[in-house]
Amino acid sequence: MKLAAAVNNIGSVFRTADAFLVEKIYLCGYTATPPNKDIQKTALGATKSVNWEYAENIILLIQSLKENYYQFQTIERTFLRLVLVLDQDLQMWKN
């Protein structure tokens, strides 16, 4: 997660990750991290059952994970559309 403004959304991501048995969440940039009372309130305990890690630089994180054969898919929802970004499209993030 990058630049998530609302900590309640982060708690919801933890709760969703817990429901889908997600291996780990990577929080990046200016995102709030546990322990945080607002995250805890929305996560309903999922911060204890879902592994997470903070990384300041998302580009370095992605490069490191790709070296370990991880693939990436992201979904971004905006007011007008839903965007699916596949691993090969992540090249646009590089400087």
Residues of the chain with pLDDT under 70: 1-5, 73-95
* DSSP calls for 6-75: -HHHHHHHHHHHHHTT-SEEEEETT---SS-HHHHHHHTTHHHHSEEEEES-HHHHHHHHHHTT---EEE
pLDDT for residue 81 = 62
In the beta sheet, which residues pair with residue 26? 53
pLDDT for residue 91 = 53
Domain boundaries, the chain: 7-93
The CATH number of the structural domain formed by 7-93 is: 3.40.1280.10
Mean model confidence pLDDT for the chain: 80
Place of tokens 């992540």: 90
pLDDT for residue 67 = 92
